[in-house]
Amino acid sequence: MSIFSIFRIKRKIPTPWSKYYSEDDLNIKIPNISMYDQVNKSFLDYPNNTAYEYFGKKTKYKKFIKQINRASMSFKTLGIKKGDIVTICMPNLPEALIALYALNRIGAIANMLHPLSAEEEIKTSLISTKSKHLVMIDMFYNKIKTNIYETGVDKVIFVSASTSMNLLLKIGYKISQIGKYEKYPHKNKFMSWNKFMGLAKHKEDDITDKFGRDTPAVILHSGGTSGKPKNIVIQNRAFILAARQEQISLKQLKAGDCCLAIMPNFHGFGLSVLMHTPLALGCYTILIPQFNSKKFDTLFKKTKPTCVLGVPTLFEALINCKNEKNLDLSFLKYAVSGGDLLNSSLEEKINKYFAKHNSSAKITQGYGLSEGLAAVTLACDDVNKSGSVGIPLAGNYIKIIDPSTRKTMPYNEVGEICVHTKALMMGYLNDESETNEALQIHDDGYIWLHTGDLGLMDEDGFVFYKGRIKRMIITSGYNVYPSHIEEVIESHPAVLQCTVVGVPHPYKQQVAKAFIVLKEGFHGIFIKKEIKDFCKKNLAHYMVPHQFVYRKQLPKTKLGKVDFQKLQSDIGADDDE
């Protein structure tokens, strides 16, 4: 049963932002369909429109839907059925989307996992989600070649980054990769994407079951309220609603337009806003598996996107690019920043850059989190105030509360941001305690997501983000939880104590810095190297501390707690990278 059917609204929630929407916009009805159904409708309406572009090669909806249908039959041949979980561990390759919608078509769930996750993280995710199969980029075979046998995974389907490239690029790519990574054996548990797709050969498409809005569709990942990795279960309804909300807000976005998918498919923002929404609206997504910030202007010139969304450092990289002279950005309609706060000076620089290069677009901000399927608020067109993250998307509710009393704060006063939307997660997989901590029923009768973020709302309903209650580090747009890194480091037999803080970085915004106290009897360069290697094996690359600092003891406050502020201002470092 959906959480939205078990409560009754007791009191009306103030919505000062409602004046920016029509009555129809505010009363969005979510049809009882799936993500696949939305994309299939785009195929029926625009069969000859481009669905996705990959390294310059464009694929139309009529071919895309055939690829999806064939993959769904192959999954069915492998025994996948409604409710089964299959892990997708790839960058932004076409096969990731094909697998996602193929699974959705048969009522299965796609566990979207970061391909740069550490070996142990991949193994833990496969076990905790009880994944039946794994669809993975082939260059990371070494990450699962031994521990895959400790999971319940039956088949691993390997995809090459070259599979959907045009012939010349494919040949060049294969030559460039010779000897760079260990190849997987084509036997037993392991098969190629082409062999997988061949399982559907000569079989009739007998998939007739329909799955609606309340069917679980995707598992995303977050630190939750405790900082430990969580499996976030998202229903079809969230993606369907998000596509409609973004259509309402991004009024200039029309069928045939395109979005630049720099944010990854395992990130709620990337998967929902940059991939599913364009595909649900008859637009197309430009898939970028590996982003080179130094050539961002060249990428713009080649792809000519209508819409681009990313973290502030991404746009900062753009204005520092010098590859293209007389760059024309007249095609750009929307540029949205999210994932971290966009300061006013950078906002001004970006807008000047756009104007100088013939674009009428203005950089705006959005706010969201995976538990609410990424986008919760958005500023765009004339509905914007400098410094704000916009107003709640149509049909969403936000209130600012006192974290200690749950009482609603007056306008323009800072408190915890709480969110209610029909796109809320179902919960954290197999973690009722953490789910109940995040999703709470308030006196008004709504279920509210407690974000752990601080902000304020003004009299017009514009939200201004002010920081985090939780000790969280944002590095290149990814949320990194110090408590998780500390737990990993302290599990090393040589470590007595570890505290991790975030420190500024010129490009990544912040990076993790670990302060470590070793146990008696442990010292020397070899132990320090061992701890660093231990982190690289057990943490995703973006979580590995940028600096490892060794101390005999850590500074304390008068109350005996670790003095985080003093650590953050500590400029001393061992083993800097």
Element (H, E) at 89: strand 85-89
Nearest CA-CA partner of 401 in 449, 470, 340: 449
| Helices (H) then strands (E): counts for the chain | 17, 27
Which residues in the chain show pLDDT less than 50?
Answer: 1-9, 225, 559, 576-577
Q: Are 258 and 284 in contact (CB under 8 A)?
A: yes
Query: What pLDDT was estimated at residue 374?
Result: 81
Query: What pLDDT was estimated at residue 565?
Result: 77
The total domain count for the chain is 2
In a domain, 371, yes or no: yes
Last residue of a domain, one of 356, 378, 400: 378
In a domain, 28, yes or no: no
422-460 b/e with 16+ CB inside 10 Å = b? bbbbbbbbebeebbeebbeebebebbbbbbbbbbbbeee
Half-sphere exposure of 139 (CA within 13 A, CB side): 15
Residues 226 and 338 in one domain: yes
Query: What pLDDT was estimated at residue 576?
Result: 44
In a domain, 422, yes or no: no
CATH number at residue 508: 3.30.300.30
Residues 160 and 286 in one domain: yes
Last residue of a domain, one of 317, 347, 378: 378
CATH number at residue 330: 3.40.50.12780
Q: Are 24 and 395 in contact (CB under 8 A)?
A: no
Q: Using only the alpha carbons of the chain, give its radius of gyration.
A: 24
Phi, psi of 123 (to 5 degrees): -60, -45
In a domain, 306, yes or no: yes
Half-sphere exposure of 115 (CA within 13 A, CB side): 23
Residues 488 and 361 in one domain: no
In a domain, 497, yes or no: yes
DSSP 8-state class, residue 16: G
For residue 565, give every residue at least 6 positions away whose Cβ sits within 8 Å of its Cβ, in sequence order, or none: none
Query: What pLDDT was estimated at residue 3?
Result: 47
For residue 446, give every residue at least 6 positions away whose Cβ sits within 8 Å of its Cβ, in sequence order, or none: 7, 9, 13, 397, 420
Q: Are 140 and 183 in contact (CB under 8 A)?
A: no
In a domain, 125, yes or no: yes
Nearest CA-CA partner of 365 in 344, 292, 353, 272: 344
Residues 85 and 202 in one domain: yes
136-161 b/e with 16+ CB inside 10 Å = b? bbbbbbebbbeebeebebebbbbbbb
Tens of pLDDT along 177-189?
Answer: 998 999 999 888 9
Q: Are 310 and 262 in contact (CB under 8 A)?
A: yes
Query: What pLDDT was estimated at residue 231?
Result: 96
Residues 231 and 101 in one domain: yes
Query: What pLDDT was estimated at residue 6?
Result: 44
Domain that holds residue 157: 35-378
In a domain, 432, yes or no: no
CA angle 216, 218, 219 (to 5 degrees): 110
3-class SS at 281? Answer: coil
Last residue of a domain, one of 354, 378, 402: 378
CA distance 22 to 24: 5
Query: What pLDDT was estimated at residue 10?
Result: 58
